[in-house]
Chains A and B, each alone.
Chain A
Amino acid sequence: MISHLPILQVIVPLMAAPLCLLLKRAQLVWLFALFASSLACFISILLLQQVMTSGVISYELGGWEAPWGIEYRIDKLNAFLLLIISAISTVVLIAAQTSIEKEIPKDKHTLFYILYLLSLTGMLGIVSTGDAFNVFVFLEISSLSAYALIALGNDRRALWASYQYLIMGTIGATFILIGIGLMYQMTGTLNMEDLSQRLPQVAQTRTVFTAFAFVIVGVCLKLALFPLHLWLPNAYAFAPSIVTAFFAATATKVAIYLLIRFTFTVFGLSFSFTTLPLQGLFLTLGLAGIFVASSAAIYQKNVKHVFAYSSIAQVGYIIIGLSTSTITGLTATLLHLFNHALMKSAIFLALGAVVYRLGSIQLSSFYGLGRQMPLTMAAITIGGLSLIGVPLTVGFVSKWYLLIALIEHGWWPVAVLVLLGSLLAIVYVWRIVEAAYFKEPLAGTMPVKEAPVLFLIPIWTLIIANIYFGIDTRLSVQVAQSAAQSLFGVSP
């Protein structure tokens, strides 16, 4: 059983999805989905433990030897990502039943959980597989279910957002497919390990350059790197709240994992960052993303839009860490993957609670909410502080590592710009805090009660995690650091 963990990680949610159809009652389906997701989370914890103690796990699908068969390869980086995805998915699911009651018609509840589990399957699959074509298949599984999930939102703009995401996402995935095809043409293999050994021999050909360009652009579309981010704000703002909380924490993270996997493992560090000018490109786009998206966030009326734009800005920080191409920089990137998942899922869940009580997410409906929903608003405030990077929250830890990496690298001006970017975060978080605590409720609005317990439990679990990992950084930093070291081929 223990040796089959890598495949069980993916199979459990995949098999659970159709089984949901057999359970008639929405309540049962919810409990079942929650069970399947927690099982996946449990498996990912076991995998991480195993990888940290005994190194890389290689699993041959159907007993076919790699590189002919499909190999699932779990190293520290995958195991870390698997844990983030499955843990966030489980925590978010706790609030799902309460939240979708108000946002999704009753007859679609079962379908919602099926799509959710399929999307989870896709993400876990992308991360665990060691086969380049398998990545494409899982990418499409997760994307197709994502489009459908976003279209479930009850505003008609959700449909339009989903359509736009579908067009952009399909172009991105097809670009990746072209890149994989070109790599196969040059090397005759699809296994990532095998590719990384064979590509250097043909690295100086135009075909490989083209393959690299297609893969990187495709992945960057998926991770919403500025200026390829246009699909994200509306998709996040109009999707059902649970979907937003889940995707904001995981979907872009998976794409960033792919970027790291392709640049570091498959194409190799020297090819990606020395032969090609990826360093400068990522740095410029990352910085531009931080400033453009943060400034856009300041002017939004819809609070979900504010945090959606903030997500694009956070992708900027993550990419800047990557662009230093040093171990510290990569550690900062991986830490921020984890930390950003914690803060954004907490914030979007809290926004979900606001939607549950108020039915609206406009900034004006937040007036006076600090007194009516104290626990929910406190969670949004702490999440916001974490976004800014205030000490004692996780946001501080990753920004700290990012600054150290930039200074070590001698990029002083960039470090200053990163700090300036954080000031913009203060502005957009302050607008919400001000509305909630310092404004009187609008005349004629009914006072509302605190969010239901099933919302508060997951929100505060995540917020406490936000503070805990901001103080006790041993676990997250150790895993991120050793994952970064192993990507650089340094033995810890």
Chain B
Amino acid sequence: MIMGLLNYWVVVVLMMSGLYIIIAHGNLIKKIVGLAIFQTSVFIFYISMAKVEGGSAPILADNITLFSNPLPHVLILTAIVVGIATTALALALVVRIKEAYGSIEEEDIQHLDNQTQAESKLQAQQATEGDQA
């Protein structure tokens, strides 16, 4: 039960830890780490799914009869590239967020945003009051 499905257990544990990190941590870099772990678990899922026990690499040769399914491996190559692009973009965003907010903690950013909102509300209110007066 456990050993026979070992690869799936690994996938599930990694997936859940990744998701947990994304949800539980307020640090933007840590969230990206969580996202990367989450994506990696899916890579492992695809790779292990296609492995045939005792199978060799899929090469056309006389003495090879049993081989692993190459398709999911190729598919996941694409997904890995996508994952890298996503991580790179996310990191670039974090750099810009750090420049704009001076922090990469979710709480601080939310706090600063609320302040901006309150200020613009106050300005609008003052403008209306000034208008009525």
Contact = CB atoms under 8 A, between A and B. Distances in A.
Interface of A: 133, 136-137, 140, 144, 147-148, 151, 156-157, 159-160, 162-163, 166-167, 170-171, 174, 177-178, 181, 184-185, 301, 362-364, 440, 442-444
Given A174-B42, A181-B72, A148 B131 contact: no
Contacts of B19: 171
Nearest to B78: A137
A166 B93 contact: yes
B42 A178 contact: yes
Given A181-B45, A181-B49, A443-B131, A163 B93 contact: yes
Contacts of B109: 160
A151 to B, nearest CB: 6
A166 B45 contact: no
Given A160-B101, A362-B124, 6 more contacts: A140-B85, A140-B86, A147-B89, A162-B93, A185-B49, A362-B120
Contacts of B100: 156, 159
B65 interface: no
Interface string B97-133: 1001100000001000100100011001001101100
Nearest to B97: A159
A160 B130 CA distance: 33
Contact of B89 (A137, A144, A157): A144
A212 B127 CA distance: 53
8 contacts: A133-B75, A166-B90, A167-B35, A177-B42, A178-B42, A181-B49, A363-B124, A442-B131
Nearest to A139: B82
Contacts of B128: 364, 442
A166 to B, nearest CB: 5
B124 A163 contact: no
A228 to B, nearest CB: 14
A174 B46 contact: no
Given A151-B96, A364-B124, A160 B35 contact: no
A174 B127 CA distance: 47
Q: Give the one of B38, B42, B127 with max A CB within 10 A.
A: B127
Prevailing SS type, chain B contact patch: helix
* Range for the number of chain B residues in contact with chain A: 35 or more
Contacts of A157: 113, 116
Nearest to A364: B124
Interface of chain A: mostly helix, strand, loop or mixed: helix
Nearest to A175: B42
B68 interface: no
B114 to A, nearest CB: 11
Contacts of A443: 127, 130-131
A480 to B, nearest CB: 33
Contact of B86 (A144, A156, A364, A444): A144
A241 B57 CA distance: 52
Contacts of B28: 163
A148 B85 CA distance: 12
Contacts of B45: 178, 181
Most buried by A among B89, B96, B101: B89
Interface string B61-74: 00000000001100
Contacts of B35: 167, 170-171
Contacts of B120: 301, 362
Interface in B44-62: 45-46, 49
Contacts of B22: 167, 171
Contacts of B89: 144, 147-148, 166
Nearest to A169: B86
A159 B49 contact: no
A160 B31 CA distance: 13
Contact of A160 (B39, B86, B113, B121): B113
A137 B124 CA distance: 45
A362 B125 CA distance: 11
Nearest to B45: A181
B39 A174 contact: yes
Contacts of A362: 120, 124
B49 A442 contact: no
Best-buried of A159, A185, A362 by chain B (most CB within 10 Å): A159
